[in-house]
Amino acid sequence: MSEEEKKVYMLLKAVIFHYHGLDEQEKHDLEETSHKLAAANALAWALEFISKDYITAFDRARLYLNEIIGDYPKNKRTELINMVWLANNLKGYVTEMEATAMLKLAKDWGVEKELVAMVLQ
């Protein structure tokens, strides 16, 4: 995985987790993912990105991610949405705010139907 892909992965996961406020389980998941992907720098970058302005973090991340992910093949875009959906389900539920954020990204990336299909499974 390239450094850019690591940044995309960690920012996507972190910004969705921070959408409602990061809890301990989500923090642990971010750290574990960072370790598995050898992406400590990418996680630090993502957390700094979010902390620059917490209120606008999702919108800024959405613009950043749309620029990069728009060039990804559809299966890769779907894989990223699936990853964040599964990560949010680790705690046993997905908040309405998280679901709304994921739907916005899925719509931007042209994989809204794929996200809905994952949710219905």
CA gap 1, 20 in Å, rounded: 28
Q: What is the domain partition of the chain in residue ranges?
A: 3-120
pLDDT of residue 99: 87
How do residues 64-93 score in pLDDT, each as one tens digit?
A: 999 999 889 999 999 998 988 888 887 788
CA gap 68, 52 in Å, rounded: 20
Distances from the Cα of 94 to the Cα of 48, 56, 87, angstroms: 24, 21, 9
pTM (two decimals): 0.88
**Where is pLDDT greater, at 121 or 39?**
39
Q: What tokens does 1 get?
A: 């995985």
CA gap 68, 65 in Å, rounded: 5
CA gap 119, 115 in Å, rounded: 6
Q: Which residue has the tokens 């908040």?
A: 95
